[in-house]
Amino acid sequence: MMIMRSNKFRIVIVVADGLGDRAVPELNGKTPLEVASKDNIDWLTSRGVTGLWDPIAPGVRPGSDTAHLALFGIDPTENYPGRGPFEAIGAGAELEPGDVALRGNFATVDKEFRVIDRRAGRYLPENKDLVKYLNENVGEIDGIKVRFYAATEHRVAVVLKGRDLSPRISDTDPHVTGVKVLYSKPLDNSYEARKTAEVINKLTKIVHDLLKEHELNKKRVERGLPPANIILLRGAGQMVKYPTFKERKFVIIDKALAISATAMIKGVCKLLGMEVVTPNGATGGVDTDVMAKAKTLIEYYNKDYDFIYMHVKGTDAASHDGRTDLKIRLIERIDLAMRYILDHIGLDNTVVIFTGDHTTPITVRDHTGDPVPVTIYAPNILPDDVKIFSERSARKGGLGRIRREDLFNTLLDLANRREKFGA
C-alpha cells in the first residue's frame, strides 16, 4: 500500500478524434494511419503495449459523447440521458442535473401550423442571429428558464432549467411535412411531465410569434427561401449527475485537465470534474494549432496536474469531409506534437496513451463501430512486438481487444491510481 501511493504516475492521454479507418481505395487499400509519417507515435508504440479498444462494444457506433464517457471510465449504456442534453452541450450549453434539453430544427410552417419544410431549407446562415433574438425575447415560461443554442445548419438545442421538469414528453416534430406541428403530450401521469409538455407547447407558440415577423425571415421570403418561422422539437432528455473523478470510488486523481476546442468534448470533460482550457490557435478543425495544445499540455504537466487529456478534433472533421489528404497531414502534425510532449515529460513517471475516441472511416464519412487502435506506454510496462501504430498492427498487440471502461481502468492501474477491489 505504501509503495502504491508513493509510486503514482502521471497520466497523459492524446486522442485524435475519429482516428481509425477502413481501407481507402485512393491509398490502395491502406489507411491514413498506415500511410502517414509518424516516427514519434511509432517510437511510443515500440516501447509500449498496443491493442484494439471498442469504445462501447464491437460494432456499436458511438457518438462523441458516449465515446468520451467510456474513455473516462463511465459506462454510457447505463444512465445515458439521450441525445438531447449532449446535443445541447455540443452547442455550448452548460447543463446541470435536472435540466431538460431537446434537439430542435428551425422549420417552416404555414398559418395553420402545417409543416412545409422540416429544415427551413437546411442551409440557414441566420441560425445564430435568430437564436440570439429568441434568447433576448423568450426568457421564462411558467417559471422555467428557456435557452436556445445554435448548432449546425438548421439545428438548434433548447434547454429548460427550473423545478419539476420531466423528460417524459412527446415530440412536437411530426417528422413529416404536410401535417400540423404536434402538441407535446405528457408520457406519464406525473405533474412534472404535464408541466413540461405545457411549457413546450407555450414555447412553440411564442417562438412562432417571434419568428414569423422577424426581419431576417422577411428577407428570406423575398429571396424565395422558406422562412425559419418555428422550432420543431424532439428527443427530450434530462441531464443526470455524473460523478467527478474525485467522487468516483476507485479513482485516485486529484487534478485533471482537458485541452480541447470542441464544445461537446469540453462539456463532457467539465461534467466529469476536469478543468478545461482551449489554447490560442486551437480551432477544432483541420487547421488547428496542434503544437499549441502540446505546449499547453507541458505547461500544465509542469504544474501539479496528474491527469491531462489532449483532444484533437481535426482528424474527425477531415474524415467527415472525406479528405484523405487532410487526415494524413493532421496525423503527421499530431506526430510532431507528440515528439514535443515525449521530449518534455518524464518517461519514468508518466503513463502515455495515444488513440482515437472512435473510428470515422473516410469511405463512410461518419462514426462507425470498428475498434480503435490504442497504444499505451507506462514505466515498467512489458512491451509487445508491435513497432508500428496502425489499425492492422494493433490486432497483434499485447493489449488484445478491450472495451468500454477497460481502457480507463488499465490506465489507472498502470499509473497506480486505482483502489483495490477486494481484500
Where does this chain bind its own copies (CB under 8 A)? 1, 3-4, 7, 22-25, 29, 31, 52, 56-67, 76-77, 80, 83, 86-87, 90, 250, 264, 361, 363-370, 380-382, 384, 391-392, 395, 398, 400-402, 405-414, 416, 418-423
Q: 147 - beta bridge partners? A: 159
CB of 361 within 8 A of CB of 33?
no
Smallest distance, its own copies to C-beta of residue 85, A: 9
Segment (H or E) for 171? none
Pairing of strands 155-161, 100-109: antiparallel
Indicate the SS3 state at residue 119. Answer: coil
Of 31 and 315, the one with the shorter C-beta distance to its own copies is: 31
Nearest CA among 45, 88, 82 for reference residue 66: 82
Indicate the SS3 state at residue 231. Answer: strand
CB of 165 within 8 A of CB of 196?
yes
Of 290 and 351, the one with the shorter C-beta distance to its own copies is: 351
Rounded distance between C-alpha atoms, residue 265 and residue 272, angstroms: 11
Smallest distance, its own copies to C-beta of residue 302, A: 25
Of 31 and 40, the one with the shorter C-beta distance to its own copies is: 31
Smallest distance, its own copies to C-beta of residue 228, A: 20
**Would you mind telling me the total number of residues written for the chain in this entry?**
423
Of 121 and 369, the one with the shorter C-beta distance to its own copies is: 369
Rounded distance between C-alpha atoms, residue 356 and residue 344, angstroms: 22
CB of 177 within 8 A of CB of 171?
no
Smallest distance, its own copies to C-beta of residue 381, A: 7
Of 183 and 250, the one with the shorter C-beta distance to its own copies is: 250
Smallest distance, its own copies to C-beta of residue 359, A: 9
Smallest distance, its own copies to C-beta of residue 189, A: 24
Of 172 and 319, the one with the shorter C-beta distance to its own copies is: 319
Contacts of 325 (CB under 8 A, 6+ apart): none
Nearest CA among 369, 366, 370, 337 for reference residue 354: 337
Of 77 and 79, the one with the shorter C-beta distance to its own copies is: 77
Nearest CA among 48, 246, 230, 241 for reference residue 156: 230
Smallest distance, its own copies to C-beta of residue 109, A: 23
Tell me phi and psi for residue 275, to 5 degrees.
-75, 150
Of 210 and 364, the one with the shorter C-beta distance to its own copies is: 364
Smallest distance, its own copies to C-beta of residue 290, A: 25
Contacts of 125 (CB under 8 A, 6+ apart): none
